[in-house]
C-alpha cells in the first residue's frame, strides 16, 4: 500500500513541480501562503519517496543483495519499466546530440561496417523541424498580439522548445547509431528506440528486397520483425533459430525473419557475404 501511494505521489508531484517552476521563472506573483504550501507538499512527497526507497533498499539487503543490486531493485520498484525506458530514450537522445555535434558515432568499433539508415528520413524530419520553429515564433507573436500573460507565453514556449529538442534528439540518434556489422554480430538499431544484437552464426541468409508499404516503424507479425524507415525496408535477414527482440516499451517477441532498411543495401550485403579464403600454396 505504501509503495502504491509513493508511486502515485511521484506521478503527481513531477508535473506540479514543473508548473510551479514555470510560474516562478515567468515572474508571476504567487501568494506567500501558496508558495509555502506548495513547497511543503513537495517536501513531504520527497520525504515519503526517501522513506519508501530506504525501506526497499533495506529489504533487498536483508535478502542478500549487494549494494548495487539493492539500488537497482529500488529503482525497479519505485519507477515503472515504461517510465524508465522513456527516461532512457531522453538520455540517449541527449548523448546522441553531443555525438552528432562532435561528428562521432556510437557503438562502431574499429574494423566494423556501419550501415546508415537515416538518409531516407533526415530531410523530411528537418523540414518538420523548420515548421516547428516557425510555429514557435508564430505562436509567440500571436500571444503577444492578444496580450496573453507571460505565464501562458512561457508555457507554450517551453512545450514548443522541448518538442524541437526531442525531434533534434531523434535525428541525432538515428545519425549516430547506425546498424553495425562486425566479425561476430550484426547490430540492428533505430536511434535510441531499438537495439538488437544478432550473432552472425545465427544468420542463415540475407537478401535484398523492396518494400514501400510498411505500416509502422516497428512491426511484429508471428515470427517476423520489421524495422522500417519512411515506410521502407530493403534488406531481409533469415535466422537459423528465433531470437528475442525487445520492443521500445519493453515487450518481447521471438523472431526469425527480420526486415530492415539501409541507405546502401549493397554495403550490408557485401559485409555479410562470406569471402572465400585464399588458397594456401603447397
The reply to whether 106 and 172 lie within a common domain is yes
Single pTM value for the model: 0.76
Percent of the chain with pLDDT over 90: 43
Q: Please choose, from the candidates 211, 213, 208, 193, the residue with its C-alpha nearest in 3D space to the C-alpha of residue 238.
A: 208
Domain boundary among 176, 194, 227: 176
Read out DSSP for 216-276? SSEEEETTEEEE-BTTBEEEEEEEEEEEEEE-TTS-EEEEEEEEE--S-HHHHHHHHSPPP
In a domain, residue 278? The reply is no
The reply to whether 172 and 123 lie within a common domain is yes
The pLDDT score that the predictor gives to residue 23 is: 53
Does residue 103 or residue 74 have the better pLDDT?
103
Does residue 10 or residue 241 have the better pLDDT?
241
In a domain, residue 56? The reply is yes
Mean of pLDDT values over 9-33: 55
pLDDT band at 10 (very low <50, low <70, confident <90, very high): low
The reply to whether 130 and 67 lie within a common domain is no
Residues 175-187 have pLDDT tens digits of: 999 999 999 999 9
In a domain, residue 74? The reply is yes
The pLDDT score that the predictor gives to residue 31 is: 59
The reply to whether 104 and 156 lie within a common domain is yes
Does residue 180 or residue 9 have the better pLDDT?
180
Mean of pLDDT values over 99-114: 94
How many domains would you assign to the chain? 2
Domain boundary among 50, 79, 108: 79
The reply to whether 70 and 111 lie within a common domain is no
The reply to whether 122 and 154 lie within a common domain is yes
pLDDT band at 243 (very low <50, low <70, confident <90, very high): very high
In a domain, residue 244? The reply is no
Alpha-carbon gap, residue 147 to 124, rounded angstroms: 35
69-77 long-range Cβ contacts below 8 angstroms, 24+ apart: 77/3
The set of cell numbers assigned to 209 is: 528486397
pLDDT band at 136 (very low <50, low <70, confident <90, very high): confident
pLDDT band at 267 (very low <50, low <70, confident <90, very high): very high
In a domain, residue 268? The reply is no
pLDDT band at 12 (very low <50, low <70, confident <90, very high): low
Domain boundary among 22, 46, 79: 79
For the chain, give the number of residues: 282
pLDDT band at 50 (very low <50, low <70, confident <90, very high): confident
Does residue 189 or residue 158 have the better pLDDT?
189
In a domain, residue 128? The reply is yes
What is the extent of the structural domain holding 34? 2-79
| Least-confidence region, from 63-67, 125-129, 264-268 | 63-67
Has residue 228 got a pLDDT over 50? yes
The pLDDT score that the predictor gives to residue 26 is: 45
The set of cell numbers assigned to 143 is: 500571444
Amino acid at each position: 500500500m505504501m509503495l502504491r501511494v509513493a508511486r502515485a505521489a511521484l506521478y503527481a508531484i513531477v508535473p506540479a513541480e514543473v508548473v510551479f517552476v514555470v510560474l516562478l521563472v515567468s515572474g508571476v506573483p504567487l501568494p506567500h501562503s501558496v508558495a509555502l504550501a506548495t513547497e511543503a507538499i513537495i517536501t513531504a512527497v520527497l520525504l515519503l519517496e526517501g522513506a519508501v526507497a530506504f525501506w526497499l533498499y533495506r529489504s533487498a539487503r536483508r535478502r542478500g543483495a549487494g549494494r548495487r543490486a539493492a539500488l537497482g531493485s529500488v529503482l525497479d520498484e519505485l519507477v515503472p519499466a515504461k517510465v524508465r525506458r522513456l527516461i532512457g530514450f531522453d538520455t540517449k537522445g541527449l548523448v546522441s546530440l553531443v555525438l552528432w555535434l562532435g561528428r562521432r558515432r556510437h557503438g562502431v568499433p574499429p574494423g566494423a561496417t556501419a550501415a546508415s539508415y537515416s538518409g531516407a528520413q533526415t530531410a523530411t524530419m528537418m523540414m518538420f523541424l523548420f515548421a516547428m520553429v516557425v510555429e514557435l515564433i508564430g505562436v509567440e507573436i500571436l500571444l503577444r498580439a492578444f496580450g496573453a500573460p507571460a505565464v501562458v507565453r512561457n508555457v507554450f514556449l517551453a512545450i514548443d522548445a522541448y518538442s524541437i529538442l526531442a525531434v533534434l534528439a531523434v535525428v541525432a540518434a538515428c545519425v549516430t547509431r547506425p546498424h553495425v556489422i562486425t566479425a561476430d554480430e550484426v547490430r540492428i538499431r533505430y536511434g535510441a528506440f531499438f537495439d538488437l544484437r544478432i550473432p552472425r552464426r545465427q544468420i542463415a541468409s540475407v537478401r535484398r528486397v523492396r518494400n514501400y508499404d510498411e505500416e509502422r516503424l516497428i512491426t511484429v507479425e508471428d515470427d517476423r520483425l520489421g524495422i522500417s524507415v519512411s515506410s521502407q525496408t530493403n534488406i531481409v535477414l533469415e535466422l537459423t533459430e528465433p531470437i528475442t527482440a525487445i520492443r521500445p516499451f519493453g515487450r518481447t517477441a521471438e523472431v526469425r525473419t527480420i526486415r530492415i532498411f539501409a541507405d546502401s543495401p549493397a554495403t550490408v550485403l557485401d559485409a555479410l557475404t562470406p569471402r572465400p579464403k585464399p588458397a594456401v600454396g603447397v
